[in-house]
Structure 1
Amino acid sequence: MHPDRLFPADPAARELARSLHALVEHAPVVSPHSHVDALMLADDRPFANPAELLVTPDHYVTRLLHASGVPLDELAGDPRAAWRLLARYWSRFRGTPVRYWLEFQLTQVFGVPQQLDEASADAIYDRIDALLATPAYRPRALFERFGIDVLATTDDPADDLAAHRRLAADHAFPGRVLPTFRADRYMDPSASGWAAALDELATAAAVDCGTHEGLLEALRIRRAYFRAQGGTATDSGVPDAWASPIDARDAERIHAAGLAGSVSPADAVAYRRDLLYRLIEMSVDDGMVMQLHPGVIRNHHRPTLLRHGPDSGHDLPGVAAFTDPLRRALNDFGTDPRLRLVLFTVDETAFSREIAPLAGFYPTVFIGAPWWFLDAPSAIERFRHAVTETAGFEKTSGFIDDTRAFCSIPARHDMSRRTDAAYLASLVVAHRLSESDAAALALDLVARIPYETFRIEPPAPPVHEAAPVRTGAMLEEVSCAPSS
């Protein structure tokens, strides 16, 4: 890959971007929002094959193959056949971040010397397959090689978090794997499987969830359990951001109707919006950082859902609103220092229209980085332009990789660090930011802001003195240690 990838074309800005990127290129990775399975790291079993590592778990990859006419069934069978399909349609990925991530993994992680195409597909498959059988390519070895300090997973409140406990007790494991509390299964009393989910939660919390109040108490108990296992954050992916409390008697009535299978659509929506308010309330009480990402249209293609289940590539962006939907909750809790609310969107028009203005006033509101459909170089640049003038850098979350594809973590963070270096360099050459501020921000965006936003204890600072680093014409003293 080109050493100046994603850097500006202007020579002065490009040189400065190189220097800024050099400050953070090897900084530890903080991944506060991902979907990597903690059990994979706890068991440390070798990865099965190249396709199951790089193709089938990554819905960014599978959805573009499907868009090219590849049935998902053909990706679920023979792994070598799935790899050949990737090679056959490799040209379809040109210009996409998916191609960027895959090329990074092929060249930087696996040392593949040639371009992927139909002629080279089998040789590349065999090379990666052989490497996966070696100790250096097992999950824990790669975790350490990728320089990951913190990896947050996504977990159901009823999960026993056994894998997290095993990793925390293993002093030979080099990093931290933190659980994230995601209660989406309990939000909609009209959803199939809601009553069964309540039964699982009741067993985990040892609380009867046959009532609305029982559900709330069970969620509180499990949040405390997650915190005891190192969790610092929750996550909520709901259709909209309305957080509107309802009377306790109405909540109990709707809860009972949900268990009886007779809840109306309007009541189900009211119940979900009430529960979102209660989760914000709980975050005020216990200090867990609340991530909220509404506006995603889930499972758009019903035949694919029925055949392959959720998370199979056909969740699509919708229009997102935050200002009015969160008015009640922010009037109640928006200045309470115990609350931290990180707002994400796949509707990038919401960044400048709603999220940045909210973060520019409320001390509790933070701006989630571009993710999902927006975690691409141009979208990240547009994001910085959209939010910085209104809310600054300090109210952003740090990069979010949001990945199930483990080996794409370093690729995604490399993309983010280069894109931010390019944006900071553009501010410097336009004389909107000093070189020293740009250097400090480059470091803060990876070494301080993610820890502070998600209330994660930062690593101990290095004991050696910081070396002087040249950024353009000036010589600045910078340190890679996060500030207190």
Structure 2
Amino acid sequence: MAASLTLHPDRALPLDREQRAVAREIYGQTAHLPLICMHGHVEAEVLASNTAFADPARLLVTPDHYVTRMLVSQGIAPETLGVRRVDGGPTETDSRAIWKTFCANWKLYRGTPSRYWLEHELVEVFGVDQVPSAESADALYDRISERIAEPGFRPQQLLDTFNIELISTTDPAGSDLAHHAGLARQGLGERVVPTFRPDAVVHLDRPSWRDDVAALAKVSGTGTGDYAGFLDALRERRAAFAAAGGLATDHGHLLADTTPLEPAEAAAIYDQALAGTVTADQAARFAAHMLYVFAGMSCDDGLVMQIHPGVLRDHHAGIAAKHGPDVGFDIPFAAEFTTALRPMLQTYGHDPRFRAILFTLDETVYSRELAPLAGAYPSLRLGAPWWFLDTPGGMQRFRETAVDTAGFYNTSGFVDDTRAFASIPARHDLSRRVDAGFLARLVLEHRLNLDEATETAVDLAYNLPKIAYQRRI
């Protein structure tokens, strides 16, 4: 008989009994609050088309970088997991086989946040009561297939099931936002909003840069044959995103550098990019310059900046060439913020129209740089522990290193960062449990009373994300 899969009601709460009892009381006040999902990567097309999910493997395994990354680390080829090849070469198309590979390797996820999220999904979302294994794989596949075939399991219906009040998608600057227009026609325009992501057009040395700039010109109706036109096209698209309900921009730069260039130098570098002669150093300086420029644009249109540097994308060139970008080989490295952000903050740090939310994958900078910055500049908020830090331990360490200097109210509250739609409730649930445990300790240390701790927990879970992402004008 397959082992039974259940969720302990006190999972992720503190071990100490007295602290756990207080945490349980605090968590009870946040467990059922609506979800604010303002750093999301669920595709707008998925929500607009509202078609049924294909099957368990293509919902829970193949598109989830956390899941596939672990399996690849154990020598399982991406092709075996259905990850597409750029050259159109063969990959596994039997979703039941992909699912069985995942289930047979369930033990690999022990101790990881993926295990927590997946268990929550299997039990709470899909009604599964068996532990994944090679033996249970077929039964689980059939049960989940039945669930996702139900009319109430379509993406739009899950917004209600998951209690999602607001969710953002992340869209390139060249997007025509057609799917968001479709969502607006369906009455969801204020519930599903776009986020402006211009990375593809500001990193001048990317192989697809000229194609992406051409797409920007086409959708904006503005010529991008020179730097001035490029800026005008970006402003036009930002206005279109704002008109479609957008609240934020998203910037995934390698470094946090915000050093501006003189306009003439920026224009010259842009011209070299068009000519195909731009150097890596010029591209890096232009990217830093554009972060500074975008801060100014945020003052004009009120869109909140999200900045998350410190990731070396596509670490293995062979994997990137074979499977394309973003297949799980993005690796964190140390990023510096204090001097890097100073040019932007010197100009805009105290401007009431400006808001930037900072994310990092380098825990060492929370107490040394980010918390002191957010504790001083009214324009800054610290984003929730992100990506590799989106873990029970990472969340706990974030509170321990950031709150002393920045407090709770210079943070964004919790915002999930995922393409895995079905995992969204699990991610918010974990954050609420960890915060309840941290706040319970402050209560028992007589640093907060219970009412203050409960109010803070509600703010972190619900109120602060809404405040942090509110347009500034």
Q: Deviations over 1:133-186 (max 9, x none)?
A: 111222122221000001011001111112112222323x59701100000011
> Structure 1-normalised TM-score?
0.93
8 Å CA contact retained: 2:302, 2:471: no
| CA–CA separation in structure 2 for the residues paired with 1:75 and 1:256 | 42
**Which residue number corresponds to residue 87 of structure 2?**
none
8 Å CA contact retained: 2:181, 2:189: no
**Which residue number corresponds to residue 360 of structure 1?**
375
1:25 pairs with 2:31? yes
Q: 1:194 to 1:40 in 2, by over 3 A?
A: same
The number of residue pairs the alignment matches comes to 456
**Which residue number corresponds to residue 307 of structure 1?**
322
Unaligned segments of structure 2, at least 5 residues: 1-6, 83-91
8 Å CA contact retained: 1:55, 1:61: yes
- Which of 12, 16, 19 aligns to 2:22? It is 16
Counterparts of residues 163-178 of structure 1 (less than 5 Å): 163-171=179-187, 173=188, 176-178=191-193
- Which of 84, 106, 120 aligns to 2:136? It is 120
- 3-state DSSP class of the match of 1:95? coil
8 Å CA contact retained: 1:144, 1:174: no
1:274 pairs with 2:280? no
| CA–CA separation in structure 2 for the residues paired with 1:324 and 1:456 | 27
Matching residue's letter, 1:90: W
The alpha carbon displacement at 1:398 in A equals 1.3
| CA–CA separation in structure 1 for the residues paired with 2:383 and 2:292 | 19
Q: Deviations over 1:335-386 (max 9, x none)?
A: 0010001000001111111110000100001101101000000110000001
Which sits farther off after the overlay, 57-66 or 272-281?
A: 272-281
The alpha carbon displacement at 1:3 in A equals 0.1
Counterparts of residues 34-433 of structure 1 (less than 5 Å): 34-76=40-82, 77=92, 78-171=94-187, 173=188, 176-433=191-448
Q: Deviations over 1:278-324 (max 9, x none)?
A: 11111112111000001100000111101111110000101111110
Q: Deviations over 1:17-39 (max 9, x none)?
A: 11111111111000000110111
- Which of 459, 463, 470 aligns to 1:444? It is 459
Percent sequence identity over aligned pairs: 47
Deviation above 2 Å: which 4+ runs of structure 1? none
- 3-state DSSP class of the match of 1:268? helix
8 Å CA contact retained: 1:428, 1:434: yes
Which sits farther off after the overlay, 11-20 or 307-316?
A: 11-20
Unaligned segments of structure 1, at least 5 residues: 458-484
| CA–CA separation in structure 2 for the residues paired with 1:271 and 1:92 | 42
Which sits farther off after the overlay, 5-14 or 47-56?
A: 5-14
1:455 pairs with 2:461? no
> Structure 2-normalised TM-score?
0.95
Matching residue's letter, 1:101: W
- 3-state DSSP class of the match of 2:167? strand
- 3-state DSSP class of the match of 1:404? coil
Q: Deviations over 1:96-123 (max 9, x none)?
A: 1001100110011011011111110110
| CA–CA separation in structure 2 for the residues paired with 1:282 and 1:141 | 36
| CA–CA separation in structure 1 for the residues paired with 2:372 and 2:215 | 40
Q: 1:175 to 1:190 in 2, by over 3 A?
A: closer
8 Å CA contact retained: 2:309, 2:360: yes
| CA–CA separation in structure 1 for the residues paired with 2:220 and 2:180 | 18
Which sits farther off after the overlay, 174-183 or 293-302?
A: 174-183
The alpha carbon displacement at 1:442 in A equals 1.0
